[in-house]
Structure 1
C-alpha cells in the first residue's frame, strides 16, 4: 500500500436498509488534485466523513500513505488535514491568534515558524493580524486551509470549498490549491461545480446515488475531445455539403442546423479535408467553429447513461 496518497476500497455506508454509499473505490496520487463530482445528495460528503472518521463505515477500508485507518488510526489521521463544513473561527480574534489557538490544541508541537509558513503558503501575510470579522469569505476559506495545514499533513480534503465565493475568489482559491501540490500535498475536493472542477483537478470521479460511475483524468477528457469533436460549418449550401460528406465518407452524423450551418463529428485532420472538399466543389465556407466538449457534457452523458441502465434494470425485474 505504498506510492499512493490515499486508497479507498469498497467504501460503503448503510443506514437501516438504505444504502447511502455503495462500494466506492478510488486512489489519489501524491501531489495531485482529485475531484469528487456529483449533484447535491450524491454521497460526496458522506464519503469524506468516512475517510476522516467523522462517521463509521459499514464496509470498506481506507489507507493513507500506506497506513491502514483501522489498525494505524493516529498515523493515518496525522497525514490528513480537512475542512468538512465551512471553517469557523473566533471572529473577535485575528487570523494569527486563531491559528495560534488551534496550534496550542494540537497533539504535536506546532511552532510559530510553522504558523508563519502556512500563512505565507495561503497568501494571508497582509491580513493575518486583522480580526477575522473583517475577512471576506475567500479569506476565511484560506484561513481554514491554513488551519488544516498546521500539522503538516500530506493530504488536504475539502468539502465544497468554493461555496459562496465570487469568480475572483474561486480563481484565487484554485491557484492556492495548485501551489500546495507543488509542495507535494495531495488535495481532494468535492463539488457540484463541474466547469470549475475542470479547471482545478488533475483527475475526477463522478458520484451518483452513492455509486462511483466514472474515474478519469482531465487530460484524458481533452485527448478524447481532440480525437473526435463536433465542428460547425457555415456554408453557402448545407444540403449539398452534407451530401458530399456522405458520398466521400468524411466525418459522422452530419446534421443540418439551419442558417446554412451543419454539425459534423470529425478529428482535427479531417476538418481540413472537409474544408478542402467543400471549396473544391464550389461551396463557399463562411466559418468553421469547434464545439469543445466540457466536463459537464461528459457528466451529463455518464449520469444519463446510468439512469437509463437503472430504469432498464427496474423494468426487466
Structure 2
C-alpha cells in the first residue's frame, strides 16, 4: 500500500534552452493539504500541468497511489481530479445537469447518487437544480470541485483556486477543502496568496524560479524561532528599557512609544521581565506577542536563498 498519495520525483521542464522547472521532488500524504507557494511565473502551474499530463515532462516521474503515470496512465489519471484553470460550465443548464454531462463522459461509471453526494460534499445541494448563470463565483468554484470529485479520485489538484473570490467565498472554500481532507482525500493546491495558504495547508513547498527551495510543515515553519517578539505596555517605556538593559544585558529591546516597548525573548523570559518591572515600580498594563506570518517566513526563506547562492531576486 502506498504511503503517499502523490510522489513527484525530479520533475523537469525545459523549453528551448530555459529550464522552467528544475528537478523538483515532493510528496503528498493521504488526507493532507499540500501547498505549492511562489510568485507568479515561479513554475507552479507548469508543475501541475505536468502532473496531470496537460504538457509533456522533459524528465521526472509522477506516481499516484503507487501507480506510475508512464506505465499505468489510465489507472493513474483515474485517481486524479483537477481544476487547472477557471472551471467552465453551461450557464443555461443547472448545476445538476452540468455534473450529469461530465458524469456521462467519465471513464468510471458515475451514478446519480454520486452526483448528489459530491453536491452535498461541496455544500451545493440547495442550489444544485438552479441554473449556473445564477451562481456566484464561489458557487461556480465549488461546482468545479464537485466535477473534479465525481469519479471519486484520491487526489484533488487545484491551481490558484481562490482567484476572484471575496473573503467569505475564500473562507467557505478553505472550510470545505478541510472537510475533503478529513474524508481522506489528498489536496495539492498552488497559490501566491500566502495569508490564505497559511490557514489552508498542512505542509508546503516554495518554488522560486522553477526550483524547490524549501519544504516543511506549516506548524514547524511558524514555530521555527525559539525567540518571539513581545510588546509591553507600561507606565514608562524609557524607565522599563533602562531596567532591562541593566538587569538583562543581552536582551534585544526597543522603545516603540512613551508607554510601549518591544523585546525579543524566549517564552519563559516573559514572566521574568514582568516581575522585574513590577519590582522596580513600573506598572505593566498589557503584554502581547507579535504573531509571525507566513509572509514573513516566506521572505526570510527566499532572501536567505538569494544570499546563499548570490544574485538578486527578480
Same fold (TM > 0.5): yes
CA distance in 2, matches of 1:312, 1:248: 42
Aligned length: 313
Deviation at 1:209, TM superposition (A): 1.2
CA distance in 1, matches of 2:187, 2:239: 52
CA distance in 2, matches of 1:274, 1:214: 36
For the residue of structure 2 that corresponds to 1:224, the secondary structure is coil
Alignment of 1:1-317 (within 5 A): 2-224=2-224, 227-249=226-248, 252-311=251-310
Unaligned ranges ≥5, structure 1:
none
Deviation at 1:88, TM superposition (A): 0.2
CA distance in 2, matches of 1:56, 1:250: 60
Deviation at 1:159, TM superposition (A): 0.4
The CA deviation string for residues 120-139 of structure 1, in whole angstroms up to 9 with x for no partner, is: 11111111111111111011
Whether the aligned pair in 1 keeps the contact of 2:236 and 2:258 (CA below 8 Å) is: no
Give the alignment's TM-score, normalised by structure 2: 0.94
CA distance in 1, matches of 2:156, 2:176: 12
Whether the aligned pair in 1 keeps the contact of 2:118 and 2:150 (CA below 8 Å) is: yes
CA distance in 2, matches of 1:313, 1:86: 33
Unaligned ranges ≥5, structure 2:
none
Residues 312 and 158 of structure 1: CA distance in aligned 2, closer, same or farther (over 3 Å) = closer
CA distance in 1, matches of 2:312, 2:276: 46
For the residue of structure 2 that corresponds to 1:128, the secondary structure is coil
Whether the aligned pair in 2 keeps the contact of 1:36 and 1:188 (CA below 8 Å) is: yes
Deviation at 1:31, TM superposition (A): 0.2
Whether the aligned pair in 1 keeps the contact of 2:252 and 2:265 (CA below 8 Å) is: no
CA distance in 2, matches of 1:246, 1:175: 47
215-224 or 79-88, which moves further after superposition? 215-224
Deviation at 1:251, TM superposition (A): 6.6
CA distance in 2, matches of 1:253, 1:210: 38
Deviation at 1:19, TM superposition (A): 1.3
Residues 251 and 147 of structure 1: CA distance in aligned 2, closer, same or farther (over 3 Å) = farther
Deviation at 1:312, TM superposition (A): 5.3
CA distance in 2, matches of 1:116, 1:139: 15
Whether the aligned pair in 2 keeps the contact of 1:245 and 1:251 (CA below 8 Å) is: no
CA distance in 1, matches of 2:194, 2:158: 16
Structure 1 runs (4+) deviating above 6 angstroms are none
Residues 251 and 201 of structure 1: CA distance in aligned 2, closer, same or farther (over 3 Å) = farther
Residues 250 and 147 of structure 1: CA distance in aligned 2, closer, same or farther (over 3 Å) = farther
Deviation at 1:267, TM superposition (A): 2.2
CA distance in 1, matches of 2:245, 2:35: 41
Whether the aligned pair in 2 keeps the contact of 1:84 and 1:158 (CA below 8 Å) is: yes
CA distance in 1, matches of 2:311, 2:138: 45
The CA deviation string for residues 90-136 of structure 1, in whole angstroms up to 9 with x for no partner, is: 11111111111111111121111111111111111111111111111
Residues 278 and 236 of structure 1: CA distance in aligned 2, closer, same or farther (over 3 Å) = same
The CA deviation string for residues 232-255 of structure 1, in whole angstroms up to 9 with x for no partner, is: 123344344334334444774222
8-17 or 147-156, which moves further after superposition? 8-17
Residues 241 and 32 of structure 1: CA distance in aligned 2, closer, same or farther (over 3 Å) = same
